[in-house]
Amino acid sequence: MRRKNRLRLGEGRAAAILIVPFGILFVVGILLPLGYGLTMSFFTEKRSGLGVGTPETIFVWFANYAKVLSDPVFLQSFGTLLLYCAIYIPIIILVPLALALFVDGAYKWARKTIPLLVFIPHAVPGLVAAIIWAYLYTPAISPVLKALGDAGDILSPFTNSSVLVPSLVNIAAWEWIGYNLIIYFTALQALDQSTLEAARVDGAGQVRIAWSVKIPQVTSTTFVVALFAVIGALQLFTEPTLLRSNDPTISSTLTPAMYAYLVTFTRNDYGAGVAASILIAVLAAVISYSLNAFGRKKGFA
């Protein structure tokens, strides 16, 4: 009983005890590196003319940001990303939504097994998914490309560089369609059944119900799906890096994250590398903020 009394603390102190351990990790794992990176992005290392001796660290204001933003290679990586998003975002919203609508109206066996099967790739690490697809894109070993013969060479990013971006989209779609399918399917199951019943009694067909009743009601889910898709796309690194290890002719600065990595580790320009990273993070923040604000204005989110 005495022990119990000793542990009897106010809510504030209990909250502090439960939150502080996480808080320390949050500071060490997120705030501190963010602050340190921000500081580093305002400095550059200058070596003496011959490139020997201890480098001198000097404060350069926004010079690193200016350097990165005026680098055509960095801007080009955003161009690639834009193309990637233009293909990826519609696919990763529409395909899971369509599949979820089909599952919602399907037989019981399909409702039980299909979401589970399509969700399985999400357990496969991104790097391993990229490996499997890279080999399926290799004409000499891929059963699909072998069967297609000459047409197979056109579909492989290793023999036809113009399908590189769609090939990356395919890997990401394979990993995420099931994830989004479950999100949509759950949202559809939570819909008010009486509205659907009313539409049915009014003589609306399945397609009409899906289009006019179900889809408008899951718009807020679409915002969440789109938000995660954009943030994920901005980080695109693992899959293209893996494909590059099979085909060195793929650009080492294909995506913004690859650019930041290259500048940091190959050019050893830490200031510029961190500046690029921070620009990516800022863009992610701006996009999620505006998507949220837009959704709120429209009353979806």
Partner 1 sequence: MSAATRTARSRPTRVGPSRVLAHAVLIAAAVYTLFPLVWLFTAVTKTTGDLYTTGMFEWNGFRLFDNLGALFSESNGIYLHWYLNSVLYAGFGALIGAFLSVCAGYAFEKYSFAGKERLFGVVLLGVLIPTSALALPLYLLASATGVVNTFWAVLIPSICNPFGVYLARIFARGYIPDEVLEAARVDGAGELTTFFGISWRLMLPGFATIFLFQFIGIWNNFFLPLVMLSNQDLFPVSLGLYNWNSQVALEPQFYTLVMVGAFVAIVPLIIVFILTQRFWRAGLTAGSLK
User: Largest Cα–Cα distance in the chain?
Assistant: 84
Of the two residues 58 and 127, which places its CB atom closer to partner 1 in the complex? 127
In what helix (H) or strand (E) does residue 57 lie, and over which residues does it extend? Answer: strand 56-59
Half-sphere exposure of 15 (CA within 13 A, CB side): 3
Contacts (CB under 8 A) with partner 1, residues 46-105: 98-99, 102-103, 105
Integer Cα distance of 168 and 137 in angstroms: 11
Give dist(CA 262, CA 258) in Å, integer.
6
Question: Minimal distance in Å, beta carbon 72 to partner 1?
Answer: 21
Nearer to partner 1, 10 or 49 (CB): 10
Comparing C-alpha atoms, which of 205, 202, 224, 203 is closest to residue 214?
205
Nearer to partner 1, 10 or 53 (CB): 10
50/56 with CB nearer partner 1: 56
For residue 121, the surrounding DSSP H or E stretch is none
Q: List the beta bridge partners of residue 58.
A: 44
Task: Tell me whether residue 138 or residue 161 sits nearer to partner 1 (CB atom).
Answer: 138
- Residue 106, φ and ψ in degrees, nearest 5: -90, 175
Tell which one of 50, 52, 117, 151 touches partner 1 (CB under 8 A).
117
- Contact status: 203 vs partner 1 (CB under 8 A): no
Whose Cβ is closer to partner 1: residue 50's or residue 151's? Answer: 151
| b/e burial code for range 255-291 (CB count within 10 A of at least 16 → b) | bbbbbbbbbbeeeebbbbbbbbbbbbeebbeebeeeb
Inter-residue contact 179 to 95 (CB < 8 Å): no
152 sits near partner 1 (criterion: CB under 8 A): no
Residue in 135, 208, 266, 290 binding partner 1, rule: CB under 8 A = 135
**In the range 269-298, which residues lie near partner 1 by CB under 8 A?**
270, 273-274, 277-278, 280-281, 284-285, 288
Interface mask toward partner 1 for 28-47; x: CB under 8 A: xxx-xxx-xxx-x-------
Among 235, 266, 268, 290, binds partner 1 (CB under 8 A): 235
Residues 252-271 touching partner 1, rule: CB under 8 A, are 257, 260-261, 264-265, 270
Q: Provide, rounded to whole angstroms, the least separation between the CB of residue 283 and partner 1.
A: 9
